[in-house]
């Protein structure tokens, strides 16, 4: 990352310029080593090159990242120097975005930066857990093993994500059809039917409460559709912004943990990820506190992250990790029990890998049954919507026929 700085030299001259560093603190430290007293250090604003500006930057797929990680692990394990490995992989990568990033990383590593520090500059591609695990691998001298474990973790995440998407495809299609049918009936059919009923019954005809309610809703939707669409658009926009904040993430995850079926999936996925990442970092020789700090950020759930931060304080005060996990209302009892066994036997990483495998199998079973659970619910919702409209039409027609 490039920073713009203003500093004072030893002969009291004001100097401005650019400096390449991983963080602002690293930039300040580098300037001091040069004998300069930094006054202002801030990230340099990138100029937009309108000649090379593309409408949409190609994303790096998880599959491409897994392949890159596995190949890098293999080459390092075979004794190929890191710079040469990165240079070779940049030539073999088909994804242009990843290719450019690897080329930048190669230059920075060649310039003396660690691999983890260079990956941190490309955090739009490499996640915090990826960067922290690489840092742990470099510190422990087992970068190839850590990269292999990272590839396994990514493959597991991709598999779960793919299964969840496939399980939700049919329910989403059903929901879309339901909404289209409902809107069609309310915006087109209901106003016409309402007009016919009023024409037949006369201006003084008393309509059933359900019919009056449905006609009122239809009238609002027809007359104020632009306000409804605008309200939904801005509502979704601000909701997305809010969910990205710390309090928003926490509230969203608290809500997810209250939804009956989804709660099971969310907890099992988070526990499987926690167990596998924790085991990988422990096997790399990272301390329990550091492992918890990294894992809490990578677990993907703000509620469990909060629980792990409480656990960090307890462990820092001398307690075993199994104790705060046992007191947690979110972590299942099996996790604390298996953790306690691992602490007693000194095989925490091996035991947690078994916990991860167990929960991943549980997730597979739940996700496989998810579609069969949601499908009838969606059909019932669709039936209720159509039934309400049908009842609001049939009721007044029946009354009119009786009067005739």
pLDDT tens by residue, 34-64: 778 777 778 776 554 444 444 445 677 878 8
In this predicted model, which residue has the larger pLDDT, 200 or 387?
387
Could you give the percent of the chain with pLDDT greater than 90?
1
For the stretch 84-137, pLDDT in tens is 888 888 888 888 888 888 888 888 888 888 888 888 888 788 877 788 778 777
Could you give the percent of the chain with pLDDT greater than 70?
90
For the stretch 143-181, pLDDT in tens is 888 888 778 877 877 777 777 777 778 778 877 887 888
* Mean pLDDT confidence for 257-272: 82
In this predicted model, which residue has the larger pLDDT, 19 or 310?
310
For the stretch 279-309, pLDDT in tens is 877 776 777 888 888 778 777 788 888 888 8
pLDDT value, residue 51: 45
pLDDT value, residue 201: 63
For the stretch 387-401, pLDDT in tens is 877 777 776 666 666
Rg (CA), the chain: 29
pLDDT band at 234 (very low <50, low <70, confident <90, very high): very high
**Model confidence, pTM:** 0.65
């Amino acid at each position: 990352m490039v920073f713009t700085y203003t500093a004072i030299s030893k002969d009291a001259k004001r100097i401005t310029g650019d400096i390449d560093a991983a963080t602002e603190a690293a930039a300040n430290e580098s300037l001091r080593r040069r004998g300069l007293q930094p006054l202002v250090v801030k990230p340099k604003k990138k100029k937009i090159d309108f000649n090379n500006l593309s409408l949409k930057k190609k994303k790096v797929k998880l599959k491409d990242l897994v392949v890159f990680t596995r190949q890098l692990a293999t080459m390092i394990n075979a004794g190929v120097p890191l710079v040469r490995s990165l240079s070779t992989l940049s030539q073999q990568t088909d994804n242009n975005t990843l290719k450019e990033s690897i080329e930048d990383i190669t230059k920075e590593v060649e310039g003396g930066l660690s691999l983890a520090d260079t990956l941190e500059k490309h955090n739009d591609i490499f996640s915090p857990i990826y960067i922290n695990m690489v840092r742990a691998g470099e510190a422990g001298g087992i970068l190839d093993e850590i990269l292999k474990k990272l590839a396994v973790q990514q493959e597991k995440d991709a598999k779960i994500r793919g299964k969840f998407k496939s399980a939700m495809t049919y329910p989403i299609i059903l929901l879309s059809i339901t909404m289209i049918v409902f809107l069609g009936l309310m915006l087109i059919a209901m106003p016409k039917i309402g007009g016919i009923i009023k024409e037949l019954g006369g201006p003084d005809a008393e309509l059933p409460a359900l019919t009056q309610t449905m006609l009122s809703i239809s009238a609002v939707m027809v007359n104020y559709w632009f306000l409804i669409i605008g309200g939904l658009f801005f509502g979704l926009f601000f909701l997305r912004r809010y969910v990205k904040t710390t309090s928003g993430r926490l509230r969203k995850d608290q809500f997810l943990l209250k939804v009956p079926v989804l709660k099971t999936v969310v907890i099992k996925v988070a526990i499987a990820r926690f167990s596998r990442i924790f085991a990988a970092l422990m096997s790399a020789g990272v301390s329990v506190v550091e492992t918890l700090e990294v894992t809490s950020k990578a677990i993907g759930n703000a509620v469990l992250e909060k629980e792990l931060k409480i656990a960090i304080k307890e462990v820092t005060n001398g307690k075993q990790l199994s104790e705060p996990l046992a007191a947690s209302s979110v972590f299942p009892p099996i996790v604390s029990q298996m953790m306690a066994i691992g602490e007693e036997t000194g095989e925490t990483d091996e035991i947690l890998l078994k916990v991860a495998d167990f929960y991943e199998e549980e997730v597979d079973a739940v996700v496989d049954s998810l579609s069969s659970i949601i499908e009838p619910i969606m059909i019932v919702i669709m039936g209720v919507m159509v039934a309400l409209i049908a009842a609001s039409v049939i009721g007044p027609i029946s009354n009119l026929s009786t009067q005739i």
